[in-house]
Structure 1
Amino acid sequence: MTTQWLKLYMPRSLYARAALILILPVVVMLLVISVAFLQKHLEDVTAQMTRAASREVTLVTDVIEHSETQHQAVAELRPDLAALDMKLRFLGINETPVIGNRRWYDFIAPQVESELRALLPDLVAVALPSGQEARLYLQTDLGVLQLTFDRRRLSPTAPHQLIVTVLFFAIIMTTISFLYMRNQLRPITRLAEAAQAFGRGRVVPYSPGGAIEVRAAGSAFLDMRARIERQMEQRTMMLSGVSHDLRTPLTRLKLGLSLLPEGEAAPLQQDVDEMQLLLDAFLDFSKGAAEVAPESVDPERFLRQIVKDACRAGHKVELVKVDGAGTAMLRPTAIRRAVENLIGNAVRYGNRAEISLSVSSKSLRIRVEDDGPGIPPEQRTEAVKPFSRLDPARNQNRGSGVGLGLAIVADVARAHGGVLRLGKSEHLGGLCADIIIGR
């Protein structure tokens, strides 16, 4: 439970998570190395070099304290300045120290100035401008003294270069690693795309590739897809064959019943009609969404045509609401069969049906509501199973059914990578059936 909040900020995609796993240790390592280098190496070395330079400056100021004039001090210090590799001059009466601008990446300069001010009480200003020069301004009895010497005597040369070098090679190596990682993850994404497409009823070309484990998963997916396709084909062939074979004896029965007197034939004719309805339902269920491929369909125009056909058949059906617009990849015959089944159930167990459409960038929702008795929540899962008949909930006396209507709708929705959801209509009080399909 303590890590639930962290999941909200973690990336979702495989590429992003792999990149995070790859980059985070590198960044942490760079930070640790940089901090350790700055604290344990640069600061200590800078402190030692600054103390050595301050002793040389103290030597110069001691000589000046015993001199009476500036010219005398310069003359006495000339041999020492040559040995110390320093330049000396006194500022004029109206002249002020020239500090200049430091380099923005000179992060060691504040420490140098701090160390010098602690070691040299008479220090007025420190100039560490761009370049290789350092200038110290000290207050003496003869005036403000300017000492100029090599900046490299105060701190290591270009300390930032190590960090820049480490960062540069870290970026190069991370980029190369990411390219190799992308090649390793590409077979996984291809497998995910093939599985997602198959879940939505499409078959895309796929061949296993990548590492041994990914190849094994890809081969297992191909075997599974082949088995499912064979089972679907066998189911379709079996139900179609049974239904086709039974049509011939049914036709003979109808012909025989037509020769009997009307009073004797009526009960038998009702049985034959029920058998015919059962066979038609078998055929619809066996077909499912077994069309060749989905096509681009305008959902609003498609639904308006279905509603128009239902109204011509004498049903009270209305398209009441349309949100959004655009096309979707659908199997028109299968979707029509599913919507017509929902409309048929609505007008069989109720008096009217209302249809609404919602189209967003991610999903498509077709909603059919009726004013019938509805289905209790505890029976909705059972209602979508094949050959399920919920007599008390749906008032079977108002029409006959074989329990395949909602099963066909659910099968069509799954074939499109979607789902059928049942609920209660807030507007009409009956059943609310949603076909939700991802775009």
Structure 2
Amino acid sequence: MSLPLLKPYVPRSLYARAAIILILPVVVVLLVVAVAFLQRHLEDVTTQMTRTVSREIKLVMSEMKDAETQEEAIALAGSELDALQMKARFLNPGEVPPAATRRWYDFTAPMVVANLTRLVPEVQVVSIPDSRNTMVYLETDLGFLELTLDPRRLSPAAPHQLIVTMVFFAVLMTSISFLYMRNQLRPITRLADAAQAFGRGRVVPYSPGGAIEVRAAGNAFLDMRARIERQIEQRTLMLSGVSHDLRTPLTRLKLGLSMLPEEEAAPLLQDVNEMQELLDTFLEFSRGASEGTPEAVDPAELLQQIVEDARRAGREVALTQCEGNGKVMLRPTAIRRAVENLIGNAVRYGTRAEISMALTPRTLRIRVEDDGPGIPPEQRNEAVKPFARLDPARNQNRGSGVGLGLAIVADVARAHGGALRLGKSEQLGGLRADIVIAR
């Protein structure tokens, strides 16, 4: 479990987190091995080798101490220089480099310089410019002496090769592990895509694969999807059957009432019409968002058609704003039903409705606003529940509904992977209903 302070910096994708799980231990092991190798192996070996060379330098200087000239000093130490495989020459003060030079990747050079200057006080500068020569500059009574020797006598040859080899094989094995990990994570990604598509009202082909646990989760998802589809189908068939069976006696009642005097039949006919409307509402709720198949739809064109149909029906509706262009995978029939329900509520409890749309790369928002009394904040969660009846502040007497209008809209929004959000309209002062759908 990640710490709260590190949580904002932890990747959210499964691939990135798995990559960190693979790479982080490898990096830590490399660092630990590299530090242990540099400190314990290289440092100890280099110290021993530089101590030996420092004794050899002192031997050469002891042979030169009785010389009166530089040429005599070189001659006196000639045999020792040959035996020790060193070269010596005296320099003018201006020829001595002011500072040591070394290769940037030479890890042992600082230790060599530190040990030689500590063990041989006469050493002024130590330069290791390449892998063939090391120049040690000493201050003597006869002038500055330059000793040239093989760097391999001061430290292990190419100490960085071990680290380079470690890094190379670490990268190679990590890459192979990452490719294998991708094959293991691909079934999880396919399962997530299928679940997300089903949550948005689409059924995509999916077959379980991968490890045993992933296959078990995939089979569980398929069973769950099948049960939900059967439940929706059974609910629709049941309510459709009930609605169909009740239409026949309602039709007979209408025919019977038509035989009565108009004054006596009017109240009863109104009751029959309300029962017919209730049946239609129940059937509409039973269909929910399952009607039609998802397809690429231009939401601006769809809303324009809905507004034009509402105007022809005598409703005061306006499409005020459409931001963004593009198509979205929607069920046009379900979205039309949801928007028409919101428009119906708006003109039932108010006098006019305004519709706007905002399309971004991540979401689609369809907004319907009215100038009615609105819904208090504490009742908005209750208003989207089926068969919810609010108090008289919403002026329920102006319609014969059963509280399924907003429930149908919320069901359609959820079937598209979105939600219905209620608020107060800043423009008109009434209810603001937003259908927000993730793309």
TM-score by length of 2: 0.95
Residues 65-214 of structure 1 aligned to structure 2 (within 5 Å): 65-91=65-91, 95-97=95-97, 102-214=102-214
Residues 211-360 of structure 1 aligned to structure 2 (within 5 Å): 211-360=211-360
- The question of whether the paired residues in 1 share the 8 Å contact of 2:295 and 2:329 is answered with yes
What displacement does 1:101 show? Answer: 5.2
What displacement does 1:238 show? Answer: 0.9
**Match of residue 370 from structure 2:** 370
TM-score by length of 1: 0.95
Q: Which amino acid aligns with 2:230?
A: R
Query: Partner of 1:422: helix, strand, or coil?
Result: strand
Question: Separation in 2 of the partners of 1:208 and 1:305?
Answer: 42
Relative to structure 1, the CA distance from residue 95 to residue 17 in structure 2 (aligned partners, 3 Å threshold; closer, same or farther) is closer
Question: Separation in 1 of the partners of 2:308 and 2:390?
Answer: 29
What displacement does 1:200 show? Answer: 0.4
**Match of residue 19 from structure 2:** 19
Relative to structure 1, the CA distance from residue 209 to residue 94 in structure 2 (aligned partners, 3 Å threshold; closer, same or farther) is closer
C-alpha offsets along residues 224-247 of structure 1, whole Å, 9 cap, x if unaligned? 000000000101111111112222
What displacement does 1:359 show? Answer: 0.9
Question: Separation in 2 of the partners of 1:248 and 1:314?
Answer: 31
What displacement does 1:150 show? Answer: 0.9
The worse-fitting range, judged by mean Cα deviation, of 297-306 and 51-60 is 297-306
Question: Separation in 1 of the partners of 2:129 and 2:60?
Answer: 23
- The question of whether the paired residues in 2 share the 8 Å contact of 1:99 and 1:128 is answered with no
C-alpha offsets along residues 321-377 of structure 1, whole Å, 9 cap, x if unaligned? 222222211111110100000000011011111112111110001111112122222
Question: Separation in 1 of the partners of 2:258 and 2:317?
Answer: 36
C-alpha offsets along residues 232-282 of structure 1, whole Å, 9 cap, x if unaligned? 010111111111222222222222222222112101110111011112112
Q: Which amino acid aligns with 2:119?
A: L
Query: Partner of 1:203: helix, strand, or coil?
Result: coil
**Match of residue 59 from structure 1:** 59
What displacement does 1:97 show? Answer: 4.8
C-alpha offsets along residues 67-117 of structure 1, whole Å, 9 cap, x if unaligned? 122332222222212211112222358644598953221122122112212
Question: Separation in 1 of the partners of 2:291 and 2:343?
Answer: 22
**Match of residue 429 from structure 2:** 429
The worse-fitting range, judged by mean Cα deviation, of 379-388 and 400-409 is 379-388
Query: Partner of 1:354: helix, strand, or coil?
Result: strand
- The question of whether the paired residues in 1 share the 8 Å contact of 2:128 and 2:134 is answered with yes
Q: Which runs of 5+ in 1 are unaligned?
A: none
Q: Which runs of 5+ in 2 are unaligned?
A: none
Query: Partner of 2:11: helix, strand, or coil?
Result: coil
Question: Separation in 1 of the partners of 2:292 and 2:428?
Answer: 37
Relative to structure 1, the CA distance from residue 418 to residue 269 in structure 2 (aligned partners, 3 Å threshold; closer, same or farther) is same
Question: Separation in 1 of the partners of 2:93 and 2:100?
Answer: 20
Query: Partner of 1:5: helix, strand, or coil?
Result: coil
- The question of whether the paired residues in 2 share the 8 Å contact of 1:310 and 1:317 is answered with yes
What displacement does 1:391 show? Answer: 4.0
Q: Which amino acid aligns with 1:55?
A: R
Q: Which amino acid aligns with 2:435?
A: I
Query: Partner of 1:276: helix, strand, or coil?
Result: helix
RMSD value, Cα = 1.9
Identity over aligned pairs, percent = 72
Pairs aligned (count): 439
The worse-fitting range, judged by mean Cα deviation, of 338-347 and 383-392 is 383-392
**Match of residue 390 from structure 2:** 390
Question: Separation in 1 of the partners of 2:49 and 2:298?
Answer: 79
Query: Partner of 1:144: helix, strand, or coil?
Result: strand
Query: Partner of 1:401: helix, strand, or coil?
Result: coil
Question: Separation in 1 of the partners of 2:282 and 2:240?
Answer: 8
- The question of whether the paired residues in 2 share the 8 Å contact of 1:99 and 1:129 is answered with no
Relative to structure 1, the CA distance from residue 272 to residue 100 in structure 2 (aligned partners, 3 Å threshold; closer, same or farther) is same
Query: Partner of 2:437: helix, strand, or coil?
Result: strand
